[in-house]
Structure 1
Amino acid sequence: MVRRIFFIAFLIVLAFLLYLYPNFETIIAGVAILLFGIIMLEEGFRVFSKGPLQNILKKATNKLYKSLSVGAVVTALIQSSSLVSVITISFISAGLIDLASGMGLVFGANIGTTATTWLVAGFGLKIQIAALALPMLVFGLVFSFQKTIELKAVGNVLAGLGFFFLGIHYMKEGFDVFKQYIDLTQYAIPGFFGVIVYTGIGIVITAVLQSSSATMALILTALSVGQIEYENALAISVGANVGSTITAIIGSLSSNIAGKRLAGAHLIFNVVTAVVAIIFIYPLANLVRVIAEFLNIAASDYTLKLALFHTIFNVLGVVLMIPFIKKLERVLMKLFKEQIDKDVDEPKYLNESVLEFPSAVISSLFKESEYLFKNAIFEIVAHALNIHREDVISDLKIKAVVKKSTTDFNINVDDIYYKKVKTIYGEIIRYATTAESKLKLRKKQQKIISDIKVANRKMIEIIKDVKELNRNISASFSHDNKDVQKEYDGFRKKLTMVLRTIYLFRTEEESLKYAEILAQLKQDAKAHIRKSNKSIDRLIRKDLITAEMASSLFNDFTNVNQITKKLIEVAELLYSHKDVLLEEKVLNGES
């Protein structure tokens, strides 16, 4: 609601300005064209981010200096700190990287954004940029008509650069014309009060434009034609840094608690950097003057000086924050606490931000499915056997576990399904289906998501199968026929063995041994599905059970083998070493 009111107010103010100052429209058009160029650049680079870029960002997070460097270099190359932020939030939400690594990438991205300032100040304002922009637009359009996704992306990048430079051209032209009617320097505010006011203006402009790069381009073009005082321009650049956190905050709204922590880190970093820059703005301006003289930058070249100032205070902010990253991480962990009393029916790893990239959504789907299997399906099957989960995973012999477990749990399988499984199962399928339709997945990525969907469908089938089995097992506790009791205890032993082996397969280092046991159990189950049980046949021949008892036993014998097979298949799909290896390769876009 607040955003809608803000947007409407912005449109009214914009219309009012255009009505009062018709010559202002060239500047506004330039800003719009430049923003469109930034959007196209981001869309173009987003295609390449599906593979190599994600791989680089993910692998560069084991050391702080790596994440800082990669964040800076990648942002400088793709001209989009917001894309780096979105990828980072997506990765943290999916658990692919930790918070400290994510902070390193985002802090480095802040340094990388200064490349845009240098591009505009050192290149965009020094030559007839429109002459370069138009060929880029032409070639960009040619590439965009190609069928290959990568070539289309190249077209978007070229066209984005073309629109970016064309926007600078129109903004510069607009300010040239505009100064004939109004001299904006008459609104200059000297002194420290002016620093505070213009920092606020920088925050507002960036919050409206949703791009610090656009704000810096706007201020540089105004500065180049003398429409703003250098001192005030320095303050606006500081405000632009604070305003840039709006993108990260908005991106974090759809993420989980980890994404919100990163947005909080981004905000704290930029605010602290801005406060330091404001306090020391005059010493920093003097430092810029000294360095500019050393680099032979003309004393009147305020655009390059602004670019230099922008770089210095961003680097200074990173240097100041490096010693406090671990402390900041602890503060954010306390400030944004994970809700530990969530039931299984609430997603733990699925949120809208993970749908941005295949690696994030696949990792999240795996983790959510594993969590569902471990905390709901495993428990439902164990309790349907009237056996405590703790006994299943204990060192107690299975025969002893079954012998001591003679109390009917009176569980309602349907009730547990609706409370703990149905919602999260629906979310897993929804996210998997959305990923398949929304993201451009490679064949192996499609196969993994398909396997995840299959695993979850089998989990639901297991719940339906154990519902019938639970009723008959519970009835056997009070059955007069000891032979029937013995048969059902045999079913319980078999499924308890499967559950324990799956637990050991999932948790023990020597999982290969348990994988072989599971493979043999599955093979036996498949073979037994179509064969009759010899012990039941013997009971029938000796007339020890009635026809009705035999019918129930045969049905449950088949049922137990079906449950066994499905449990093992789910475990293989979610926990096998083969799939872990596939995950590592396929998550990074390898085919």
Structure 2
Amino acid sequence: MGGLGLFLYGMNLMGEGLQKSAGTRLKAIIKLLTSNIFMGVLVGTGVTAVIQSSSATTVMVVGFVNAGIMTLKQAIGVIMGANIGTTVTAQLVSFNLNGMAPVALGIGIVLYLFGKNPKVKHISEILIGFGMLFTGMEFMKDAVEPLRDYKGFTDMLVSFGQYPILGLLLGFGITAIVQSSSASMGMLVALAAEGLIPLNAALPILYGQNIGTCVTSLLSSIGANKNAKRAAVIHLIFNVLGTVLFLIFLNKPVVSLVTGMDPGNVARQIANTHTLFNIISVLILLPFNNIIIKMAMRIIPDKAEDEEDIKTVKYIDDKMLEIPSIALINTIKETYRMGNKAKESLDCSISAIIEKSDEYLGKVFVKEETVNELQKIILNYLLKLSKTAALDEDSREAVDNLFNTVNDIERIGDHAKNIAELSQIMIDGDLEFSEQGKNQLEEIYNYVISAYSSALEAFKNDDINLAYKVFRIEEKVDMMEKTCRASHMYRLNNNLCSIDNGVVFLDIITALERVSDHAVNIAKRVIAQKKHFVE
């Protein structure tokens, strides 16, 4: 248990160090996912090799599909690639690198204690993780060594070669419990290294491990939408089909190949079989990707009575915190979506004023509730993201700015609600603005909504030119506010409007001007962040 604990922690630490070293380059890697299925396989392989976990990659894929930013066609390629990427760990632990473990630990700890540069710290984490991984492996080998003299145990392991279904179930069970095929593969390699298990008995366990690793992605799809569930099922179908192919047709030729490559080393034979299993499965099943997708859609069918899943959030998901740079991108998308909800609320509030409509009034309050809910969810998510160790300095500044932007958008939603409440006063009191008052209200609103829309687009696209445009519009809003107040005083002095009308009119103008101020706040952060990155 101690050896397994060290192995898992070392693998996790090494993966985190590699991920931090990759930094924001992972953003560019994920963008390649939109290319085609072959690029998806390459990206899935690369990302899994970096984060050292096919389960983490497939969980993220489920999250991406759930957020609607990846199609099933793209997902299947990444899932297949993840299965190849996970063989890196098995290959690594199958070599006898125990002598390097103390050296890696020693160098890693010295670098960690005395290194000031973040890049040096990341390298030290990779080395410490590497050292712990192999120390844990050595612990497991030492722990199972006495079992060589226990005939009951060795006979049980050998029997898995005669009854492959039992081996499959054992491999599936261990991996489902440990939640890591790399960890269960490490245990298998430890047994093989001590001569406790022959290759023919190890292979059914290995195939079972490939199916067991699907449990993590299946669990992660609980509560997700249909396509996310289908992505998890695709992972299961792919591994089951690969296992069937190998058990029935490819077992003997692969055994002959790996034993010829490393005649006396069962640990290397197991690692090579694991790699060949995944590469050959991808090569054979990749051309049938559309059939696999259709099978998943049959298992998780569309129901005629089902409507589109309506959820408060669309893009953010805790599963994506595994890669903070991607989580940040999706939080920006969710914040932009929240901004559009606030804009819709603002539109409805002005329509309620102009048309004195109860229907628009009701929409404002519904949308305002959504904006408030989104604020809570996004801020909680940002708090989790800010605590992620793998977040680089630039991303941390972006997270800090997002906290403020989310609050600005929520305040805009509040102003929309305030305007809606003023429209309720107008409807209840049967108040009416003069024609000039209505025209001025529409004019200042057009400036305000233009400033806010430009701020949102600048925020979404990191567009400094649009951000500066907000300042120019804000000047017009300020001038228009003064004009509206002066015109109102003229109408009031000449008995062209009532005091009640005037109070409502001035409150609306004030609320709109404050919306414009919040748009400027959003634009300022876009400019400040852009300048920081340039520097």
The answer to whether the superposition gives a TM-score over 0.5 is yes
Amino acid at match of 1:194: Y
One-letter identity of the residue aligned with 1:449: L
| Counterpart selection for 1:44 from 5, 14, 17 | 17
Match of 2:402 in 1: 449
**Which residue in 1 is equivalent to 2:274?**
310
Among 81, 84, 87, the residue aligned to 1:108: 81
Give the one of 450, 462, 485 matched to 2:415. Answer: 462
Distance verdict in 2 for CA 1:413–1:492, change over 3 Å: farther
What amino acid sits opposite 1:132 in the alignment?
A: M
Cα displacement string for residues 434-492 of structure 1 (whole angstroms, at most 9, x for unaligned residues): 3334463534523541453244233233224313431355368654xxxx432442255
| Structure 1 residue 172 displacement after superposition | 2.9
1:411 to 352, 355, 361: 361
Structure 1 residue 130 and structure 2 residue 94: aligned?
Answer: no
Tell whether the 8 Å contact from 1:91 to 1:360 is kept in structure 2 after alignment. Answer: no
AA partner of residue 452 (structure 1): T
SS at match of 2:370: helix
Residue 533 of structure 1 corresponds to 485
Report the Cα distance in structure 2 between the residues aligned to 1:517 and 1:69, rounded to whole angstroms. 42
Q: In the comparison of the two structures, how many residue pairs are matched?
A: 522
Candidates 493, 498, 505, aligned match of 2:442: 493
Which AA in structure 1 matches 2:103? P
- Code of the residue aligned with 1:348 in structure 2: it is K
* Shift, 1:318, TM fit: 0.9
| Aligned 1:241-256 pairs, distance under 5 A | 241-253=210-222
Match of 1:268 among 233, 237, 262: 237
Q: Which residue of 1 aligns with 2:251?
A: 284
- 2:319 maps to amino acid: S
1:364 equivalent among 299, 315, 330? 330
Q: Aligned with 1:411: secondary structure? A: helix
1:35 is aligned to: 8
Per mean C-alpha deviation after superposition, the further-off stretch among 193-202 and 93-102 is 93-102
Matched AA of 2:200: E
- 1:166-220 deviation line (CA, Å, top 9, x unaligned): 2332333333332123453322566986111111111112222322222222222
Structure 1 runs not aligned, ≥5 long: 1-27, 388-401
- Corresponding position of 1:21: none
Q: What is residue 119 of structure 1 aligned with on the other side?
A: 92
Against the structure 1 CA distance between its residues 500 and 254, is the aligned structure 2 distance closer, same or farther, given a 3 Å change threshold?
same
Q: TM-score, normalised by structure 1?
A: 0.75
Question: Offset of 1:572 from its aligned partner?
Answer: 6.0
User: How far apart in 1 are the matches of 2:534 and 2:285?
Assistant: 36
How far 1:144 sits from its partner (Å)? Answer: 2.7
Q: Is the 8 A contact 2:15 2:50 kept in 1?
A: no
Structural mapping, 1:9-88, within 5 Å: 28-59=1-32, 61-76=34-49, 79-88=52-61
Q: Distance in 2 between matches of 1:502 and 1:427?
A: 26
Query: Within 2, Cα distance between the matches of 1:573 and 1:259?
Result: 37
Determine whether 1:352 maps to 2:318.
Answer: yes
Give the direction of change, closer, same or farther, for the CA distance of 1:330–1:475 in structure 2 (3 Å limit). farther
**Retained in 2: the 8 A contact 1:222–1:228?**
yes
Deviation at 1:513, TM superposition (A): 12
TM-score normalised by length of structure 2:
0.81
SS in 2 for 1:349: coil
Report how far residue 235 of structure 1 moved. Answer: 0.8
| 1:356-384 deviation line (CA, Å, top 9, x unaligned) | 44333333333333333434641453255
- SS of 1:386's equivalent in the other structure is helix
Tell me how far apart the structure 2 counterparts of residues 373 and 77 of structure 1 sit (CA, whole Å).
35
Instruction: Tell me by how many angstroms 1:86 deviates.
Output: 4.7
Q: How far apart, CA to CA, are the structure 2 residues paired with 1:253 and 1:185?
A: 39
String of CA shifts for 1:36-79, please: whole Å, max 9, x gaps: 32232233234235422343343355232222123324434554
Equivalent residue letter for 2:435: K
Shift of 1:137: 1.8
Deviations 1:262-308 (A, max 9, x none): 3222222112212222222xx43234314653x4x32x433333333
Instruction: Tell me the residue number matched to 1:15.
Output: none
For the 8 Å contact 1:476–1:485, the answer to whether it is kept is: no
Runs of 5+ consecutive residues of structure 2 not aligned to the other structure = 458-462
Distance 1:435 1:312, change over 3 A: closer
Residue 320 (structure 1) shift: 2.7
Provide the secondary structure at the position in 1 that maps to 2:99: helix
Q: Aligned ranges for residues 84-483 of structure 1 at < 5 Å?
A: 84-121=57-94, 123-124=95-96, 129-145=97-113, 146-182=115-151, 184-188=153-157, 194-253=163-222, 259-280=228-249, 283-290=250-257, 292-293=259-260, 295=261, 297-298=262-263, 300-329=264-293, 332=296, 335=300, 340=307, 346-375=312-341, 377-379=343-345, 381-386=347-352, 405=355, 409=359, 411-412=361-362, 415-416=365-366, 419-438=369-388, 440-443=391-394, 444-446=397-399, 448-471=401-424, 473-474=426-427, 479=432
Letter paired with 2:439: G
Equivalent residues of 1:502, 1:571 under 8 A apart: no
Query: d(CA) in 2 for partners of 1:153 and 1:553?
Result: 59
Q: 1:175 to 1:411 in 2, by over 3 A?
A: closer
Corresponding letter in the other structure for 1:158: L
Asked whether the 8 Å contact 1:533–1:554 carries over to 2, the reply is: yes
8 Å contact from structure 1 (residues 249, 263) kept in 2: yes
